[in-house]
Amino acid sequence: MNGLLEIVGSLLLLAGAILILIAAWGVIRLPDALARQHAATKAGTLALACVCVGAMLWAQDTGWTLRLLVILAFLLATLPVASHLLARAAVRESQAQDELDAARLVDTQSQGRG
């Protein structure tokens, strides 16, 4: 059973490393600040979650598992807030607020639910 946990943990660590590379590539290649922020936050959060869970499975130690759970909880609590604040700052800086205010809102009542 320990061998299986180490294999699954190693696969999660590898998946996390690949996702971190994809997030970094998105930050470099995407055209504007909002798209870059999206790539860094979404893929980065998933990658860090994979790395933390993979490390928990690979280490198989209660002390490390508790530390990694605290790290994971902290990241999952703070990354969305930081991403939202960065997106708001980017919108304000780019003067796109006027365009957003003038945009037509989608009417949810006319979309036929049911």
Show the tokens assigned to 74: 């902290």
Closest among 23, 5, 4 to 65, alpha carbons compared: 5
pTM above 0.75, yes or no: no
Query: Helix 2-29 vs helix 44-59: angle between axes, to the nearest 10 degrees?
Result: 160
| Residues 32-79: tens digit of each pLDDT | 877 888 888 888 889 999 999 999 999 889 999 999 999 999 998 998
Instruction: Round the average pLDDT of the chain to a whole number and report it.
Output: 85
Write the CB contacts of 25 (distance below 8 Å, at least 6 apart in sequence): none
Task: Say yes or no to pLDDT of 7 above 80.
Answer: yes
Identify which has the larger pLDDT, 15 or 113: 15
Helix locations, the chain, DSSP H: 2-29, 33-38, 44-59, 62-93, 97-102
Local confidence band at 91 (pLDDT 50, 70, 90 cut-offs): confident
Percent of the chain with pLDDT over 90: 40
The residue written with tokens 């205010």 in the block is 101
